[in-house]
Amino acid sequence: MFNRMEGDGKFHRENRTIDIVKRIGVITPNNVRLKKHPVGKPVSIFNPSFIIRNDELIVYARTILGYFTYASVISEISIPIEKMKEISKIEHSAEIKVFPDNRYDIWGVEDPRATEIDGKICITYCGRTVNYFNQSVWRERTLPITAILSSGWKKVCVYRLPKEMRGFVISDKDAFVVKTKYGYKLFHRLHMKDDNFYLVISDVDAGMMKKEFKEVEVKNTSLAMKPADFEEKIGWSTPPVRIGKYLISFLHGVDKEMKRYRVFAVAMDEKLRLKAVTPYYIMEPKEIYEIFGDRPHTIFPCGAQKLDDKILLSYGA
């Protein structure tokens, strides 16, 4: 259905985990206070992305105020880096920044990925479209949307496949935008009518960053990687972090037997060709809040940044 990217040869992967991720702390609804909203505390807060600005972690987290439709907003929390190891103990002030307001995200804004492009902070998130709960329409139930910070948050575009392909798209999610020397690229994961999941990278026009909200038709969609035999699906988790000449990105894999979410990493070159993959998972649910959190046996990274000689991850459980 999609052309395969150059350099995406098969890599040896094993169905086991060597967990190398040190847990630092947890933000729960109990230590979050919502600003400018009559509901003082969220029902749930998870799947956070973040950027580092002026010695602060600026966290953008998916936030649930009720479970009837499980609709989400994106709230912002600022945490001084010096207090990073205390995040489980201190109270956090959260303010809603992005919320449903159009036909492409009316049932929720989910799973933000924050990046910086051309000096602007961008969030690409999964919008639950007007079709989401319509059992007679299994088409484009979710779509990626980008918002930029420019005198407040402004939604600038929703990404769609070419018209001749849209009828085959059930959902499109796990998305973020990266600017490379070869142009703007949308990393995303498609669920198609053949009931398969496709981890892909597409070209997008530079004009998508303009402030007027618009539909952007992606181009040259290419398959980046296939799931292993023991996986039901894989998805992009974090925007890439540059380490030397490589771009390191974290992905999640869902196993066929237990439906557990586990994490592995890939290294890409400047042309986004896969050059290396961890031969086993490097993180899996092991803490009680990961084994039984908002969703059992789920860890879902959405943010990664280099901090000193380490990579800092943010994830939902």
Of the candidates 5, 12, 69, the residue with the CA atom closest to the CA atom of residue 220 = 5
Q: Identify the weakest region by mean pLDDT among 108-117, 136-145, 208-217, 227-236.
A: 208-217
Contacts of 240 (CB under 8 A, 6+ apart): 178, 247, 248, 249, 268, 304
| Structural domain contains residue 3 | no
| Structural domain contains residue 243 | yes
Number of domains observed in the structure of the chain: 1
Domain that holds residue 287: 9-316
Residue 30 has phi, psi (to 5 degrees) of -65, -30
| Structural domain contains residue 187 | yes
| Structural domain contains residue 30 | yes
| Structural domain contains residue 97 | yes
pLDDT in tens, 89-104: 999 999 999 999 999 9
pLDDT band at 10 (very low <50, low <70, confident <90, very high): confident
CATH code, domain with 95 = 2.115.10.20
Q: What is the pLDDT of residue 211?
A: 73
Report the predicted TM-score, pTM, of the whole model to 2 decimal places: 0.96
pLDDT band at 293 (very low <50, low <70, confident <90, very high): confident
| Structural domain contains residue 148 | yes
| Structural domain contains residue 173 | yes
| Structural domain contains residue 2 | no
Q: What is the pLDDT of residue 285?
A: 98
> How far apart, in whole angstroms, are the C-alpha atoms of residue 72 and residue 24?
25
Residue 7 has pLDDT above 70, yes or no: no
Residue 31 has phi, psi (to 5 degrees) of -115, 30
pLDDT in tens, 142-199: 999 999 999 899 999 999 999 999 999 999 999 999 999 999 999 999 999 999 999 9
